[in-house]
Structures are given as structure tokens and as C-alpha cells.
Structure 1
């Protein structure tokens, strides 16, 4: 892909897309300041929940994910499930290398801070099923591949999360002569998280495409309908960021040095997981779109689940909960930056680009 083609694609992006880092930075600052300066705001927002699920965060995530999942061409999913290289690589990166890397980094950077260390390990076990949809779309990744890999992660999350938590917090530290920690989390709590944050927008997106195309045809659906709902995803992202940081604004701003200590291993984790996965995709012959999808699904984490587990197990004021909150504080700006790194690296892929990039330009206003 030439530099001229890169510039043409960027020129087609909306102002909202082109200035996304600015809007995200502003949303983070707004949330932090609101949580710090408005008395009782965090408690009030936290109180709006049902069965442990924050309604404001759930609303933001559902609004964020629905438009992107409505763009997925579900009749193409078989081309993804048949790609054994992609599927196998994703499973190994997400459920073998990712948790092991976070475990190692947590012990290297935080050997004297057991609460934060435990919180980071929990973050490493929670594989991303929500915001990765946005990062992948912004990077012109393969939407169909993202939908399949996120669904695959969801299944493994329900099956493997509790067992991996037991292994990395109790068994492996015992083998290595390190401190051991217990983690109690039910499969239902994890399944509930998956059903709400992925199941609802996935079903809504599938039904919207199915009945929209049946009523008006694919051309109308992709050229008229999708451009209208496209910006809603980014509005949902910004709303989620504001709410998330407002909920924890006081905790973050009251512990700046602790935040820095927690941030360092997270920065290393995101950089290593993303770069390693992106390079792996190219090495095994994946095209740009699927390499981008592989890298973002491997690097992202399910902070909603990590925070919920940390709070349920150790308490809302615990160091484990703070470590979970710092996760998105670092992940959001870092992965936004990696979106631009990914786009800049497209010219290194010589294989013809799939329709994902053209679809992205056409359905984003």
C-alpha cells in the first residue's frame, strides 16, 4: 500500500476519527476531574447498578459496540473460522502467553506490593471482549475476524478464567516459593459479564443487518444506514471513558505514585503483546487486516471483568481494585496510539488489502 493511498484513507475519516486521541484525552480528564471535584459523584454512579453490573458503564459499552457489530458481514464468518493459523495463534496468545507475561511483569515490577501485583494478574487473565471491537475498527482490521475471536475469547473466559486465577495466584507461586493468594469467582459472574457486554450488542447487530438487508438490500444498508449509526460507537466510547474515570477519579488522583508503579508493567505488557502479535501475524502469512485484529485482540483486556472480580473478592477500596482501575487508564491511550502505529505499518504488507479498509472508509462519516 502506498503513502498516497494511506493519505487518501485518512482524508476520508471524519473529524471525530481524526481527532480521536484529543477527544479521548479530554474524556479521561473530564472524568477524573468530575470524580475528584464533584462530591459524591462516584458513589452516586456506583449505586446505579443491578446485580453488581454498573448501568452507566453497561449503557456506554452497549452503545459503543452495537454499531461496529452491525457492520460485521455475518455471512463471511466461515472464512475466519477456516483460518487455522489465525484461530490457533489467537488462542495461544490470549490464554497462554498473555496471562504468563502479566504474571511475570507483576512480580518483576511489584515484588513488594502484593495487592497491586494480584490486581495486575487478574487484569492479565481477563481477555478483551468489548473495547477491542473499537480499536480493531479504527485500525481498519478485519471486522468478521474480530467478531469470531472475541466470541472465542468469551467462551474461553467462562471456561478458563477461574481455573487460571487459581493457577497463577495459588499454584504457580507455590511452585516458585512465592506468596500465594486465593481467588473465588463463580462461572456465572463471568458468564453474566459476557452475556451483557458481548451477547446483547452481538445479537442486536446481527438482527439489524439481517432484517435491514432483507428490507432494503445490502447496498442501502452499507451506504446509507451504517454511515448514520457509525459515529454512535465513538460517542459510546467517550461516554464510557468519562463514567469509568469519574467512578474512580478520587482513587486515581489520590495515589499518583502508586498509579505510576502500576502503570509501568502495564505499558510493557501492552507494547510486548501488541508488537509480538502483529509481528507474528505477518510472519505466519496473515494479511494486514487479520494481523491487526490478532494484535488488538491479544493486547486488550476486559477491564470491566477485572475490576468486578477485584472488588467482589477484595473490596472496593483494595489495592487489587485500584490496579484494575489503572488498567484502562493506561490501556485506552496506549491502544489508541497503537491504532496509528498499526495504520502506519500497513505498507509493510505486500498482500492485497481486503475489503475491510474500503468498508471502514465508506461506513464512517
Structure 2
């Protein structure tokens, strides 16, 4: 059997094992690192008076330079992992492409908009922050969840690439629609937004466009110089952890600035978490049902569900900081996001593996009963 088939068979065989045990040490305890970063940031804010003024002295599009660097660092490794040359493999699967676009760019933002208004009608800053989270489609940890749940790895990489490109093109327009236009149409109280579409677009272009270009060039140059095998096996494992380092650094700084708001309003943090929990559950379950009804099969349906349910909190945090400030409620809503997403999606990996029995298994390919490598595996 080929190396790729062997890897797939190994994933299938290992699916019954503990999901968390298959994560790397850093990823396995991601929720713990986030909690520690939050605690460290709170302590730093109390120990260093005037930290906010110091961080605000040098800015990039309204974002303090340390935070801007942290945001760029945490976005770059994720986008360097994407296989940009495989976009055509998913575009040929019209059902998967159609469902992914509808779920990610119509259903997801609309659902988060509705939940934000239902759960946070009296907290406009947090409500706006959640709407921004709903517009930032997942391009990061989804690859890990998809792999743990034995989803289609190639389809996940391609959908991540499509989401990356689409966010650059559509995020600003959707932000303007959901934050300004739609509330007016529905007769809802509009938040006073002293921000233009261009300001949102500029944040997206900087904090997504720059790492997207860097990730694309890194893969293009690296594969051309040393080959794909070296790039995937050697370079990616070296730069991959920097996404987590950048995220944790950003959280430390944000919580240093947000300390008073967090410690004085713990119930607000809980209220931010509740609509996020509902969002993940509804998006994931709905996407699994849609993929099952469309006959995509378990691997692609699982990929569809995790790419639709996850969110790009890195981008949401970047846009919220650049647009509303590091100490804003919008930024806090983005920071709470990954703390909720990580344990919830790990739990949904278990649910996905248990749900495989409801999907028909693909027919085994015709192979010799016995080969030098042993019996063939039907994956």
C-alpha cells in the first residue's frame, strides 16, 4: 500500500484511541496555556502601572506594535501550512464547495448575528465583538480537529485556502452589512460605529493579507528549493508552534490591558461564552446533517462540519483591536473565543468519531487478497 494509504489506514485504526492523546504536547494543553496566559496578563497589568500608555506609543493602523507583531506571528504559520496548489481538487466537487460557501459565508455569520442579539441585547460592545467573530471563518486549528476526526485532509487544506482568500475579499463588506446595514433594516438599535469599510478592510489586508502572502511565498520558495517532503516534514514542524506563541503573547498583552474589565465583570465573560457554545453546537450539527443528506460520505462531511463550526479568532482579535482598541469590549469577546472553542471542538471530535456508524462505508477497491504488505485495508 502507498504511504498515503497507510497514513489513512493508521488514522482510521487510531481513531478509536484517546483523541487528546494524539495531539502534540502544545496542542493537547492549549486551553491550559490560554488560561495561564490570561492569568499572566492580569498579573502583569497590576504589576506594571502605565503599561497601556507604553504599548500605545508606537502603533500599526491603530494597533500597538507589540500586539501587531503578535497577531502577524500567530497568523503566518497557519497560512504556511496551506497547500495552495490544490484549490482545483475541491472546486471540482460542486456539492462540497457549494455547502462550504453557504455554511461559512451565509449561515455562519447570520447565525452569530442572531445569537449575539438574542444573548447580548444590552451589551453592544460584546455583541459587536461576537458578530466580528462570526465573520472570521476558520483557517487555523480546524486542520487539527479534522485530522483527529479522520476527515478528508486534502479537502480541509483546500477549504482553508479558499476561506483565507475569501476573507480578504469579503470580510470588510460583510462587516459593514452586519454591523451597520442589517440592524437598520430590522429596526434594531445600532451601535455607534465611527469606522468605515476601508478601515475594516485595511485591518484585514494587513493582519490577514500580509501573513497570507508570506505563507504562500514560504511554501512556494521552500518546495522549489528543497521539495515538498522536506517542507512538510522539516520546516512546518519548526515554524508551526509560533502560531501558538503569537496567540499566547497577544492574550497576555490583551489581558494586561483588559484586567479591570475582566475582574470586575466576570458575569459578562460568562455571557460572552454562552452564545459561543450554542453557535459551535448548531453549526457543527447542522453541517454534519447537511453533508450526510448530500451524500458526501464521512470524511468530507466531517471536514465540512469542522471548517464551518470553527472561527478564525486570530483575525477577529486583530480586527477588533485595530478598529475599536485593545481595551474594548469587542476585543475581549474575541479573546474569550479560543478559550471556549478548544474544549468544545475536542469534544465534537469524539462525537464525530461516534457518528461514523451512521455513514455508509465506501466500497473496498479491488486488490489482491494477499500482497507483500499484507491484506488490503478498506478506508
TM-score w.r.t. the length of structure 2 is: 0.76
The aligned residue for residue 148 of structure 1 is: 162
Q: 1:30-49 deviations in whole A, cap 9, x for unaligned? A: 12232244322233224431
Taking a change above 3 Å as real, the CA distance of residues 92 and 303 of structure 1, as seen in their structure-2 partners, is farther
Q: Classify the secondary structure of the residue corresponding to 1:7.
A: coil
Taking a change above 3 Å as real, the CA distance of residues 294 and 85 of structure 1, as seen in their structure-2 partners, is farther
The aligned residue for residue 15 of structure 1 is: 25
Q: Classify the secondary structure of the residue corresponding to 1:30.
A: helix
1:211 aligns with 2:217: no
Shift of 1:148: 1.0
Taking a change above 3 Å as real, the CA distance of residues 39 and 186 of structure 1, as seen in their structure-2 partners, is same
Taking a change above 3 Å as real, the CA distance of residues 263 and 227 of structure 1, as seen in their structure-2 partners, is closer
The aligned residue for residue 340 of structure 1 is: 346
The aligned residue for residue 55 of structure 1 is: 65
1:136 aligns with 2:142: yes
Q: Classify the secondary structure of the residue corresponding to 1:133.
A: coil
The aligned residue for residue 124 of structure 2 is: 117
Shift of 1:179: 3.3
> Alignment length, in residue pairs?
336
Gaps (5+ residues) in structure 2? 1-10, 148-152, 363-379
Gaps (5+ residues) in structure 1? 353-365
What is the alpha-carbon distance in structure 1 between the residues aligned to residue 126 and residue 13 of structure 2?
A: 42
What is the alpha-carbon distance in structure 2 between the residues aligned to residue 41 and residue 8 of structure 1?
A: 43
Taking a change above 3 Å as real, the CA distance of residues 61 and 185 of structure 1, as seen in their structure-2 partners, is same
Taking a change above 3 Å as real, the CA distance of residues 221 and 102 of structure 1, as seen in their structure-2 partners, is closer
2:139–2:160: 8 Å Cα contact kept in structure 1?
yes
Match of 1:303 among 307, 317, 327: 317
Shift of 1:247: 2.4
1:186 aligns with 2:196: yes
What is the alpha-carbon distance in structure 1 between the residues aligned to residue 185 and residue 332 of structure 2?
A: 26
Shift of 1:180: 4.2
Taking a change above 3 Å as real, the CA distance of residues 93 and 120 of structure 1, as seen in their structure-2 partners, is farther
1:43 aligns with 2:50: no
What is the alpha-carbon distance in structure 1 between the residues aligned to residue 269 and residue 20 of structure 2?
A: 34
2:67–2:253: 8 Å Cα contact kept in structure 1?
yes
| CA RMSD of superposed structures (Å) | 3.1
Shift of 1:243: 2.0
2:79–2:216: 8 Å Cα contact kept in structure 1?
yes
2:120–2:126: 8 Å Cα contact kept in structure 1?
no
Q: Compare CA radii of gyration and give the structure with the larger one.
A: 2
Q: Classify the secondary structure of the residue corresponding to 1:210.
A: helix
The aligned residue for residue 252 of structure 2 is: 242
1:80–1:148: 8 Å Cα contact kept in structure 2?
no
Match of 2:74 among 39, 64, 87: 64
1:195 aligns with 2:209: no
